A = this chain, B = another copy of it.
Amino acid sequence: MRNFNFFRRLSTAFNDYPSLSKIIVVSTISGGSLVAYAEAKTYSGSHGHIAHADATASDGGHALSEVVPKKKKLVLLGTGWAGMSFLKNLNNPTYEVEIVSPRNFFVFTPLLPSVTCGKVEARSIAEPIRNIIIKKNVDISFSEAECVKIDPQNKKIYCRATIDSHSKGEEEFAVDYDYLIIAVGAQVNTFNTPGVMENCHFLKEIDDAQKIRKNVIESFEKASLPSLSDEERKKILHFVIVGGGPTGVEFAAELHDFVNEDVVKLYPKVKDLVKITLLEATDHILNMFDKRITNFAENKFGRDGIDVKLGSMVTGINENEISTKARGNGKTSSTPYGMVLWSTGIGPRPLIKEFMKQIGQGNRRALATDEWLRVEGFDNIYALGDCATINQRKVMVPILKEFQETLDDICERYPQVELYLKNKQKRNIVDLVKEAKGDAAKQSMELNIEEFKAALSEVDSQMKNLPATAQVANQQGAYLAKCFNRMEECEKNPEGPPRFRGTGHHRFHPFRYRHLGQFAPLGGEQTAAELPGDWVSIGHSSQWLWYSVYASKQVSWRTRALVVSDWLRRFIFGRDTSGI
């Protein structure tokens, strides 16, 4: 009855002073949340701003009766890193933007491995794309649909959406565009290994991570059932990771931590039966990282009991066993497994494959663009992120070609030069120049040209495609948004380099990637960090660097607050082990 009286009095108090309740809630929010609150509530503020800006525009330059010029239609495919970064940075209200994506949220993919074992919640790393849209002063709409065909001739895309969940009814529609930005990402690459699609888990999307999490917990529950033999338990608890890249390595580390920090307490009977195997086809794991990091990771995994099998190629997977072939001696073997994560690389999505065939890039691995991220041959189609690759032309060929073209030009404009060459039986103008300089000069000239060729060739041999990472996609999205923001300005005052052929300058500077470093979390609150300036940091210190960077890189205060509170929660309560 005391409780009851307390509630009645509390209730009366709230009735008499309605604001009391809100004061109590507000006063319980910590400082960080208040900042976040302030940010979250700027929605209405920024909307007010749009209205104001519009009013100014129409009152200013034009009379009210004047027809407002039709906005250019910009269609964006995809809501991943590239698309989100483009959206966040676009602030030119002269475009009408339509986003088409089967996913109405952005995912902070570097934290996907953290979701697999419950270090971070799935929702904490997802930001609804409409939350980003309503903060912009640009006219943006979103359609949850998949683009199935691009028609560059008619400047149209065709989309498909599931409209009826019962009868699987579908809705098809076409969208016209003035500019098309393709940022649909990539899909997993199975390298046509039999059984992969049917039996493996992947880690590309948020529901992949949720499935893995459920499966990991279920594995421990199943192995804890009575009446199983130890052999059956061992099979169920054999986790295999194919691919020693950052994703595979991080998942192995997360799983190992989960077993050691939570499973030990909750599933004491089966904790010693767990086995984690990491299969890598090349000679080292993390081979895109510094050698020191690779060595440290291999040693740490060795100490942790994670079985790293290098030079081991997967030849097939059936319901119960995974078959491998050693690269060295060609020896094949099969091992029973409970769960396999396949994380070996990416390939183009069907839409991109189809589009590449259409535009004659059928033999490539991703859409080729120029340095301004335009799909080769199209002025109004851009591609960025994992679905695209910048066609870094070899330096040597175009420069020498340019040189040749200049000389050809001379011959064309001054026909007497060609006649002279024919008479003197010279091949081309280069020989003529050589001859004119005299024999002494001839040798030095030849040397210089050969040296120049060699130097260019060296530059070309060091050339690599940009890695398929969030960092690249993010920078490309921001770059392209800035281009669109300054389109009119740069049409008038081009800021780019001079054109090779033709007159004038390119509108924009070409895209340049700045590598800011990369992380490889190795478990046990240790992370390897490769930072600019050849600086490598490994251990607990870089784990804290990792926390800081990943918290600061979140796309909104909402996800930042959620991710940080997830980390705190895991620190306090451990991971959640309910099989949801």
Interface, chain A (partner B; CB < 8 A): 4, 7-8, 10-12, 14-15, 18, 21, 25, 28-30, 33, 36-37, 40, 43, 103-105, 121-123, 126-128, 130-131, 134, 141-145, 161-167, 171, 173, 175, 198-199, 206-207, 210, 215, 217-218, 221-222, 224-228, 232, 236, 265-267, 319-320, 531-533, 535, 537, 539-542, 544-545, 548-549, 557-558, 561-562, 565, 568-569, 571-574, 576-580
Contact = CB atoms under 8 A, between A and B. Distances in A.
**Which of A210, A232, A544 has the most chain B CB atoms closer than 10 A to its own CB?**
A544
B266 A128 contact: yes
B568 A40 contact: no
Given A12-B541, A207-B580, A218 B165 contact: yes
**Which of A130, A320, A580 has the most chain B CB atoms closer than 10 A to its own CB?**
A580
Contact of A532 (B4, B144, B568): B4
Contact of A43 (B103, B236, B265): B265
Please give me the 8 A-B residue pairs with the lowest Cβ-Cβ distance, nearest first.
Answer: A105-B578, A144-B221, A173-B227, A11-B541, A130-B266, A14-B541, A166-B319, A128-B578
A535 to B, nearest CB: 8
A102 to B, nearest CB: 10
Given A12-B541, A143-B226, 16 more contacts: A4-B532, A7-B549, A10-B548, A29-B568, A104-B579, A123-B576, A128-B266, A131-B577, A144-B221, A144-B225, A161-B225, A162-B222, A165-B215, A166-B319, A171-B225, A558-B573
Contacts of A576: 123, 126, 128
A562 B568 contact: no
Given A4-B531, A579-B105, A222 B25 contact: no
Contact of A173 (B105, B226, B541, B572): B226
25 contacts: A4-B533, A8-B535, A10-B545, A21-B540, A25-B571, A33-B572, A36-B572, A40-B572, A104-B221, A105-B579, A122-B580, A123-B580, A126-B580, A128-B576, A131-B266, A134-B266, A144-B221, A163-B222, A163-B228, A163-B232, A171-B227, A171-B228, A173-B227, A207-B580, A561-B573
